[in-house]
Structure 1
């Protein structure tokens, strides 16, 4: 099967499966909705002097990304694992014997969709919350703001791709989600929250990749990192590459 046909096939699969469509919709609704709620109820009088000095309106706009990424994790997992849970993986691999084409096509289409939704989500969150912040709001043209907002969309796309790689290794929705959700939402935050484990925690994908969304250094009392925004994003790229290669290695060696 030609690679363009593989792309068309994967697009049809994602578009016609309700669960993947709904999870992408939830990425947008949860992230934008909670960002608006946080901004509408934000009280600058509750900030101490240090927090006022490092207040980051852009980070405030993107603060709900941590909630929205939960839906993106599920999306990335379902794109791959649904094939195994339904038994369609046998049919898919029979139609596309070259497994690298099958996996590349699936990941390319899903990542492109995740990027589109991620950028739409990050820009919608930014413009809505800056309007709600009033005098505290800033414009997209301010220094490093466009990088942060665009980077948030890139982060979500990489997150989806990373989760696809892990799902290809584990070949189970339950197993992949059970590993990824605690890893991103609990383990990463715990490790970076303690001085003894911070050196390890700051190199995990969510903490490193999330650095690209920060404009003001040390915003909200965040610790200093040995890398900048793009350096952190590069670390997440390496994590994602490792996950994708791991997923491909498992797909190539194991039976469907």
Structure 2
């Protein structure tokens, strides 16, 4: 495969002080050390990383070219749209827990389940590594391994489903979607989704081309978007991807892999 059809990506914040980019720079250094230099590197931001700050960030890994993408001005300009911030009291009302999350966090969840596929149409595969994830092990042939196994989604870690306070209405919506589209699920639908294994989405590899052309997934995305539940009840991209993989995909299509290892700084977790 032509390596330029693979991109390493993150959605990152802009800061007033250069010192606040310490985590992002450490992330970039780890990528530069362990990942192939044939992968493209994209950093999505809200237009609040100045050119001077971009040059500062780039200066720590000069041999690793970084493309900074302003999601507010780059086509399709759909991400971080405040008009989507609506309450759906009938299906997924806010809770005290969901209300603790900022609008920016909910925008991030929306981006990583819906918007990012529209911003990356030049790429077949994406390797998401968030700004607080520091790589210490990476198999640079992982995409070739995925293709041989006919896989479309992998993550170094899969975890349990999210808590009820931020998944209100999710089962009801899923049932409606299944009935509306006459879908035969790959696993038995559970009320609490205790069996569902969710990818730890701060680090994941996805075949974007597959999901862009997947009719069931596109319809599910649309139903999620129209429900406003990502904003109303802070439905996260982690449980949503968990539902997609567990119920819509054969189990050989996704996998927890041990050949990628990293430190998730904000949660003080070491994966593999």
Normalising TM by the smaller chain, what interval? 0.3 to 0.5
More helix by share: 1
State TM-score, norm by structure 2.
Answer: 0.32
State which structure, 1 or 2, has the greater radius of gyration over its C-alpha atoms.
Answer: 1
